Amino acid sequence: MRIKRNHDVAIKDRPVTAQRRLLLDILRKANSHLDAKELYQRAIERDRHISLATVYRNLRLFKEMGLVDEIRLDDVHCYYEIKHPAEHYHLVCTACGQVIEFESPLIAKLVSEVEHNCGFHTSKAVLHLEGYCNRCKNSIG
Amino acid sequence: MRIKRNHDVAIKDRPVTAQRRLLLDILRKANSHLDAKELYQRAIERDRHISLATVYRNLRLFKEMGLVDEIRLDDVHCYYEIKHPAEHYHLVCTACGQVIEFESPLIAKLVSEVEHNCGFHTSKAVLHLEGYCNRCKNSIG
DNA sequence: ATAGGTGCAAATGGTTTGCGAAAAC
DNA sequence: GTTTTCGCAAACCATTTGCACCTAT
């Protein structure tokens, strides 16, 4: 592979393979959060021979490089998304499965309060709310 | 089994078995959060024949009955604790593994802010902070 | 008596890994 | 030419399940 694309620079000090370019492209264009299998299924439409192992290996790599965020929204599997410049968290509708992003200055406030009270140094906050989105709340009851 | 103990009442509408009594007793006396395997290992010291399947089945039952809380503090497995009267969340030290409980009125504030802004109805908040506890922060750097 | 629980071993399902072939550098 | 990745199949590990037997009610 010769031609450099937008996100090739993102993969620094590592070989730029067609598979990596493909996976990053799918993640970039996805406006939702994908799990490994979903990513794999979208990938295989463009590259018949890509393997699930490659998807997992590269998701791990992307995560280690800080390119993608890994979020565990349920007990079953992880979801991946291109790292946003702005920190955000998620609402998960347990009725329709919709995932909504949100952010709030209260989170930073909470973290610094806890750090102050407990002498704890926070490197990562795991946070999401489960419940019913506006639509499901009204229709299901 | 005939003799009723403290927590037998907790298991309502379900047979009170020796295994259930044992598991609840271990969970009660544990001052830390146990995963299924740890619980199983403590249980097998008192009942040589208890099986891991029974541990999992009853943890699920206890969870459904609202007797225990299931928390996923890492990607590998879940931890279980007897349900506290007071809502609380956890700090996880990624250096020493220590788990510290905390609570803050900011969490309720955050939830109601999000509900107001997004029209979301929250049934459960998943929250924990990862980082370094006071000791590790100072000793490791 | 009978509904429900238990132990065992096998299955499940997401994720990881060993290995020889292939591609990137 | 050397280093890294890939595809495949097998391994892994937490959790679940089918089944024959046992226990609480």
pLDDT digits (tens, 9 = 90+) for B57-87: 999 999 999 999 999 998 888 999 999 888 9
Q: Note whether A97 contacts B: Cβ–Cβ < 8 A.
A: no
Confidence of residue B139 (pLDDT cuts 50, 70, 90): confident
Measured to protein CB atoms, the chain C nucleotides within 7 Å are 4-10, 13-18, 23-25
Long-range contacts of A105-113 (CB under 8 A, 24+ apart): A106/B106, A106/B109, A106/B110, A106/B113, A107/B110, A109/B106, A110/B104, A110/B106, A110/B107, A110/B110, A111/B129, A113/B104, A113/B106
Give Cα B94 to chain centroid, integer Å. 18
Cβ–Cβ pairs < 8 A, chains A and B: 111
- pLDDT range class, residue B131, cuts 50, 70, 90: very high
For residue B8, pLDDT beyond 80: no
Helix or strand holding residue B127 (H, E): strand B121-132
Is the CB atom of residue B46 positioned under 7 angstroms from any atom of strand D?
Answer: no
Nearest-CA distance A87 → chain B (Å)? 15
- Whether B61 has its CB under 8 Å from any CB of chain A: the answer is no
Mean predicted confidence (pLDDT) in A2-24? 78
The model's confidence at residue B2, banded by pLDDT at 50, 70 and 90, is: very low
> Using the beta-carbon criterion (under 8 Å), do B132 and A119 form an inter-chain contact?
no
Q: What is the pLDDT of residue B97?
A: 87
Q: Would you call B129 and A128 a contact, using CB atoms and an 8 Å cutoff?
A: no
| Strand C at less than 7 A from CB of A37 | yes
Please report the pLDDT score of residue B31 as a whole number: 79
Beta bridge partners of A95: none
All residues of chain A having their beta carbon less than 8 Å from the beta carbon of residue B124 are 129-131
Q: Is the pLDDT of residue A137 over 60?
A: yes
Q: Output DSSP code: residue A84.
A: P
In this model, does residue B12 exceed pLDDT 90?
no
Measuring alpha carbon to C1', the residue closest to nucleotide D3 is A15
The per-residue pLDDT for B13 is: 83
Interatomic CA distance for residues A7 and A91, integer angstroms = 29
Q: How confident is the model at residue A13, as a pLDDT?
A: 82
B 9-38 residues with CB below 8 A of A?
none
Top pLDDT among B97 and A51 is at A51
Q: What is the pLDDT of residue B1?
A: 45
Report whether pLDDT(B94) > 60. yes
Predicted local confidence at residue B32, as pLDDT: 83
Contacts of B117 in chain A (CB under 8 A): 102
- Chain A nearest C-alpha distance from B33 (Å): 18
The predicted structure's pLDDT at residue B102: 95
Determine the average pLDDT of the residues in A3-32.
83
Q: How confident is the model at residue A132 (pLDDT cuts 50, 70, 90)?
A: very high
The answer, for B56 touching chain A at a CB cutoff of 8 Å, is: no
Give tens-digit pLDDT for A86-124: 899 999 999 888 899 999 999 999 999 999 999 999 999
Q: How much is the pLDDT for B3?
A: 45
Local confidence band at A7 (pLDDT 50, 70, 90 cut-offs): low
What would the pLDDT profile of A33-84 be if each residue is shown by its tens digit?
A: 899 999 999 999 999 999 999 999 999 999 999 999 999 998 888 999 999 8
Strand D bases with any atom < 7 A from protein Cβ: 4-10, 13-18, 23-25
CB A49 within 8 A of CB A84: no
What confidence tier does A5 reach under pLDDT thresholds 50, 70, 90?
A: low
- In angstroms, how far is C18 C1' from B53 CA? 31
Cα B71 to its chain centre, rounded Å, is 6
Residues B94-104, mean pLDDT to the nearest whole number: 92
Nearest CA in chain A to B70: A75
Residue A6 clears pLDDT 60, i.e. is over it? no
